[in-house]
Amino acid sequence: MDKYGLHFISDEDLFLHVKNTVEQYRFEIDLKSFNKNIIDPIKLTFDSLIYSVDIEDVVKSEALRQIDKSNTNQIGYFHQNIFQYIGENWSVPSEGFDIINESENIFVEMKNKHNTMNSSSSQKTYMKMQNTLLENSEAICMLVEVIAKQSQDITWKISLDKKKYDNRRIKRLSIDKFYELVTGDSTAFKALCSVLPVVIKEVVDGLNLDSEKNSVVKELNEVSDNLLKSLYLLAFKKYEGFDNFDV
């Protein structure tokens, strides 16, 4: 009997996939990456004063939020790429759809949460699927949501330019129903979730993971001896008057 007891994926493949996910986790952040999308110092000022939190702690929280966002992307990698190892004829292409089964003409877009797509991105995804149906008369397209409102396997209904569309070959599935489709086991996803903590612990115990390295506050203090001033100069140093700015 397999150590992890999952009939749809081998112990070796599951361990390797979890290991690859863990190794992509982010531990470090410096000022350059912290300000990659330009930090809003006004928002951080509001946060600090409204919640009565020292500005240094606000900066550290923002740094941790950015690290967490990167790690959330790695969980998307985990959910998508595990289907390289599960079922027959399933693959994870480098571009286009997230998951496909060419022999069954199934094309899948996967989202981590049901509310991660706004109206525009939902419409874009739906139109992509419509085009696939036009190009392939046997195609079935699926939007698979890891965290859906409920367990479901339904036709995806949507409004485009104030018109309502639905097509039985464009479906919306929760992740448990997709695992059932791929494995033939209605509780396959539950079984994976049950064993996952054990696998992750074994992976982590066997790795020499980096400790968190956050140099953001240190580097901001090198800009000026006033952390809040440094934040403003980081965003607005090329604006009029900020060559003589104090706060």
pLDDT in tens, 173-198: 999 999 999 999 999 999 999 999 99
pLDDT at site 117 = 73
pTM: 0.86
Checking if the pLDDT of 206 tops 80, the result is yes
CA distances from 57 to 14, 44, 47, 77, 161 (A): 38, 10, 10, 30, 45
Give how far the C-alpha of residue 107 lies from the chain's centroid of Cα atoms, to the nearest Å.
19
Checking if the pLDDT of 161 tops 80, the result is no
Exposed, middle or buried: residue 243 (CB in 10 Å: 0-12, 13-18, 19+)? exposed
Single-letter residue type at 8: F
Residue pointed to by tokens 């509310």 = 115
How is residue 244 annotated by DSSP? G
% of the chain with per-residue pLDDT over 90: 80
- In this prediction, residues 201-214 reach a mean pLDDT of 87
pLDDT at site 59 = 95
pLDDT at site 1 = 44
pLDDT at site 98 = 96
C-alpha neighbours within 13 Å on the C-beta side of residue 223: 22
- In this prediction, residues 15-21 reach a mean pLDDT of 96
Q: How many distinct helices (H) and strands (E) make up the chain? A: 9, 8
pLDDT at site 163 = 84
Residue pointed to by tokens 């604006």 = 239
Note the pLDDT tens digit of each residue in 67-113. Answer: 999 999 899 999 999 999 998 899 999 999 999 999 999 999 999 88
The residues with which 99 forms a beta bridge, in sequence order, are 108
- Answer yes or no: are the C-beta atoms of 169 and 128 closer than 8 Å: no
Tokens found for residue 236: 């607005």
